[in-house]
Structure 1
Amino acid sequence: MSVALTDLAPLYQRGTPKGITSVCSAHPLVLRAALRHGRATGATVLIEATCNQVNHRGGYTDMTPADFAKLVRTLAKLESCPKDQIILGGDHLGPNPWRDQPADAAMAEAEKMIAAYAAAGFSKIHLDASMGCQGEAAALDDTITAERAARLARVAEDTASACGLTPPTYIIGTEVPPPGGADHTLTTLEPTTGSAAHRTLDIHRKAFEKLGLTDAFARVVGLVVQPGVEFGNHNIIFYDAPKAQALRGVLKDEPHFIFEAHSTDYQGTLPLSQLVKDGFPILKVGPELTFALREALYGLDLIATELVPGYGDRPLYRTLEALMTEHPTHWARHYAGGETEQRMLRHYSLSDRIRYYWSSAPAKAAVSELIKALKGARVPVTLFWQFLPDAQAFADAPFDPEDIIIQRIIRTLDCYHTACTAS
């Protein structure tokens, strides 16, 4: 059953909470998995692009918001997913990609990005101006963050109006976890306090009103707070409901809002279900989905190595290792340790920074060769037992490797769907 973003607060207040999984990925196979899952379940398919992945300058995927929207529409047709089930969102939209520049220059870029997202029909926008720019503190205070968020909302409103589009709904919040998870081993994590959440809402409300954006603030559906969940390179902090109970009082005082939970990857069904029950019905997931993608691809790489003459010895793995060592920008400052530990993290870290490399030409070519090598092949069940035991149903008959990859990703999406639909 499809649920609208504006349904979430009323459902929570009635004591019948439902959730929406927010798929934060730009990889075509992850998107196909989300759309195929949506077609099968009838659930809302919320797909979000981040400011670093997709922006007016192309991001690391070399896609503008219009390109990304076109890709989703194309894949939705391929997977026969009805377009009225799909919501496009923009995540962490603000000056973050340009924070090494002075604030005025970074905000000018952020305004262009917001305009591109709004013009492309993205109907959910997370306004995130919480990170400092050149010469500023790493994390800004609520007042500056709210003023910049309202400035960006003004651009989104004006752009949607000029394009004849329905104005977007918004997510706000200053206690925003870092995109993609933490860089260090985590031990404890304190949830946002109720007083901090109240203050964030009050300051944003005033900032929006100051710019004549009262109507826009009425479309703010959620607030990003820290529920006490996170993952690092090595470990996961699981949701501890009693520690976050003070936040439920905020939703009693502000019944038109819900919370959006970031970094919920690897939590599992029970913690995710409790998050939905506690007023966190938007569950954002990204690296866990591309981690599943990588698991499936590497398993197939091993199968092809054993099965297909001339395929080579794990060429996909070797291609990615060469790419990451030659171009360390996306992982070097995130992965510490010696040579062996860094190599393990490059491929198997929970933060899955390998996801930045799948869109490169060598990685695409290696994946294409893998798919070509196994498409239509008959794989003995024993090889699936060895390398991809959850895919043994594909054994001993011609198969499409992409279906195995999509199935592996859907296993994770099923956990989220169960959590979102249980009440």
Structure 2
Amino acid sequence: MSRVLHQHLLKQRSGVPSGIYSVCSVHPWVIRAAAEQAAHDDSLLLVEATSNQVNQFGGYSGMRPAAFRDFVLEHVRAAGFNETKLILGGDHLGPNPWRKLPAAEAMAHAETMVAEYVAAGFTKIHLDASMACKDDPGPPSDELVAHRAAALCKAAESAYVAGDHPVYVIGTEVPVPGGATHSVHDLPATSTEAASHTLAVHKQIFEQQLPGVWDRVIALVVQPGVEFDHDAVVNYDSTKAAQLTAWLRNQPESIVFEAHSTDYQLPPAYPKLVDDGFAILKVGPGVTFAMREALEALEDIECQLINESRRSQLSEAIERTMLSEPDNWLPYYTGTPEQQKLLRRYSYSDRVRYYWGYPEIANAVDCLMTNLASVEIPESLLSRYLPAQYLRLREKQISGDPESLVLDHIRDVLRSYAAACAIQ
């Protein structure tokens, strides 16, 4: 499928605004919703796991690459999606999970991880060596990033067994996974000088060390001037990226831009991004943020339909678990206890997404879904709490069971991406 993806993106070179969105999540409902959306559109489906989510040690999901592959296949098949159109990718594959270690040790782990991804059948590989390791004197230069990316690529090429060869994404101006941890009100796009230098350095080193591989470098990660922090979004402004877009169109290389942190943009921004050459759009926290919204709306409905003694108490379970297991949010959410409490639930970075698999929360979700499946939810309640799903239910586009309501609310995020990418 990497060949199909590359051919699809190459339409950009002939002036066709063709793109693809990449869903980065390890939650089964997100994968199911993405597969349902792709099946509806008869489109390609690109699902990626990050190095923190999935690696040779299990990551925070507990899954190694082969297990994640099987997990995705299970849920896309259940959605009725044609799995021959599925593309699996690895995002931020590099030393990031081990950046507190010396570079040699961190890179050894990263090379093992990349090899395991490729051996498991992942064909879109983001080589991300942009972060400093423990013994780096400062942020690594483009040259050092390129040398480390080449080392990761060698590991990937050595692990390739059969089928389509992997395709690669490179870049040095890579946003922090999961959104900014500080307030962001404005953000410049990557300069053409920086993009040109990054591309030239990587090309030189790859052609020296990896003959024949450079043609499979399909995208360059740059900053289009979009980002989100805890409670604000920097909206896309195509004028800020105009020079970058013009530079790309004049390149002899058959590459596109990959844009990270595109979550929470207004719907009209996505077709503009694709038109401007940002042909790979990443979405992660935005889809689990929508999932949480749907679950909390259903919990409000539950409070009105189910006896108090039987209620799921989902909100309380989330709060107790996050307070007792703070490692995934405490380093990122500062402020007073009241401010931290608000961020735990409502920050755009959506660090709740790390907790859905914890037993108390998982049991509360199961209880909520069981409770609401045992009653008929009045349309009037849906109108108040999930108005978009209320309309689709009235139009008989979806059923009214609680899981369908959650999946459809997640798809509200994906519909904007799908419309912009217009994948055929």
TM, length-normalised to structure 1: 0.95
Q: Provide the secondary structure at the position in 2 that maps to 1:90.
A: strand
Equivalences for residues 213-232 of structure 1 within 5 A: 213-232=210-229
**How many angstroms apart in 1 are the aligned matches of 2:417 and 2:178?**
18
User: Any conservation in 2 of the 1:24–1:48 contact (CA below 8 Å)?
Assistant: yes
Q: Provide the secondary structure at the position in 2 that maps to 1:253.
A: coil
Unaligned runs of 5+ in 2: none
In the TM superposition, residue 390 of structure 1 has moved relative to its aligned partner by: 2.5
**How many angstroms apart in 2 are the aligned matches of 1:33 and 1:177?**
26
- Cα distance per residue 1:85-124 (max 9 Å; x no partner): 1100000000100011111111111011101100110010
Number of the residue aligned with 1:357: 355
Equivalences for residues 101-112 of structure 1 within 5 A: 101-112=101-112
In the TM superposition, residue 357 of structure 1 has moved relative to its aligned partner by: 0.6
Equivalent residue letter for 1:39? A
Q: Provide the secondary structure at the position in 2 that maps to 1:131.
A: coil
User: Any conservation in 2 of the 1:88–1:122 contact (CA below 8 Å)?
Assistant: yes
In the TM superposition, residue 322 of structure 1 has moved relative to its aligned partner by: 0.6
Relative distance call for 1:140 and 1:312 in structure 2 (3 A) is farther
User: Any conservation in 2 of the 1:194–1:249 contact (CA below 8 Å)?
Assistant: no
Structure 2 counterpart of 1:284, from 271, 278, 282 = 282
Number of the residue aligned with 2:233: 236
Relative distance call for 1:398 and 1:207 in structure 2 (3 A) is closer
User: Any conservation in 2 of the 1:316–1:366 contact (CA below 8 Å)?
Assistant: yes
Number of the residue aligned with 1:420: 421
Equivalent residue letter for 2:126? H
Structure 1 counterpart of 2:247, from 239, 247, 250 = 250
- Cα distance per residue 1:267-286 (max 9 Å; x no partner): 12211111100000101001
Number of the residue aligned with 2:75: 75
In the TM superposition, residue 331 of structure 1 has moved relative to its aligned partner by: 1.0
In the TM superposition, residue 313 of structure 1 has moved relative to its aligned partner by: 5.8
- Cα distance per residue 1:146-191 (max 9 Å; x no partner): 101000100100100xx33432000000000000000111121111
- Cα distance per residue 1:225-245 (max 9 Å; x no partner): 001000000100011111111
Number of the residue aligned with 1:35: 35
- Cα distance per residue 1:358-388 (max 9 Å; x no partner): 1222221111111111114201223223322
- Cα distance per residue 1:308-341 (max 9 Å; x no partner): 1245566111111011111111111211211111
1:348 correspondence with 2:332: no
**How many angstroms apart in 2 are the aligned matches of 1:420 and 1:257?**
17
User: Any conservation in 1 of the 2:312–2:367 contact (CA below 8 Å)?
Assistant: no
Number of the residue aligned with 1:386: 384
**How many angstroms apart in 2 are the aligned matches of 1:298 and 1:4?**
39
Q: Provide the secondary structure at the position in 2 that maps to 1:91.
A: strand
Equivalent residue letter for 1:235? A
Number of the residue aligned with 2:133: 133
**How many angstroms apart in 2 are the aligned matches of 1:150 and 1:45?**
27
RMSD in angstroms over aligned alpha carbons? 2.0
Greater Cα offset, 104-113 or 397-406: 397-406
Unaligned runs of 5+ in 1: none
**How many angstroms apart in 2 are the aligned matches of 1:128 and 1:59?**
17
Number of the residue aligned with 1:301: 299
Q: Which runs of 4+ in 1 moved over 6 A?
A: 395-398
Equivalent residue letter for 1:296? A
Number of the residue aligned with 1:13: 13
Structure 1 counterpart of 2:270, from 260, 272, 281 = 272
Equivalent residue letter for 1:207? I
**How many angstroms apart in 2 are the aligned matches of 1:128 and 1:36?**
30
TM, length-normalised to structure 2: 0.95
Equivalent residue letter for 1:412? V
Number of the residue aligned with 2:371: 373
In the TM superposition, residue 255 of structure 1 has moved relative to its aligned partner by: 4.0
Q: Provide the secondary structure at the position in 1 that maps to 2:126.
A: strand
User: Any conservation in 2 of the 1:127–1:152 contact (CA below 8 Å)?
Assistant: yes
In the TM superposition, residue 17 of structure 1 has moved relative to its aligned partner by: 1.2
- Cα distance per residue 1:248-305 (max 9 Å; x no partner): 2332123401000000001122111111000001010011100000000111111112
- Cα distance per residue 1:25-73 (max 9 Å; x no partner): 1110000000011111111110000000011110000001000000111
Relative distance call for 1:338 and 1:313 in structure 2 (3 A) is farther
User: Any conservation in 1 of the 2:256–2:279 contact (CA below 8 Å)?
Assistant: yes
Number of the residue aligned with 2:408: 407
Number of the residue aligned with 1:209: 207
User: Any conservation in 2 of the 1:269–1:418 contact (CA below 8 Å)?
Assistant: no
**How many angstroms apart in 2 are the aligned matches of 1:204 and 1:363?**
45
Number of the residue aligned with 1:147: 147
Equivalent residue letter for 2:264? Y
**How many angstroms apart in 2 are the aligned matches of 1:398 and 1:65?**
34
**How many angstroms apart in 1 are the aligned matches of 2:419 and 2:132?**
38
Number of the residue aligned with 1:115: 115
Relative distance call for 1:352 and 1:269 in structure 2 (3 A) is same
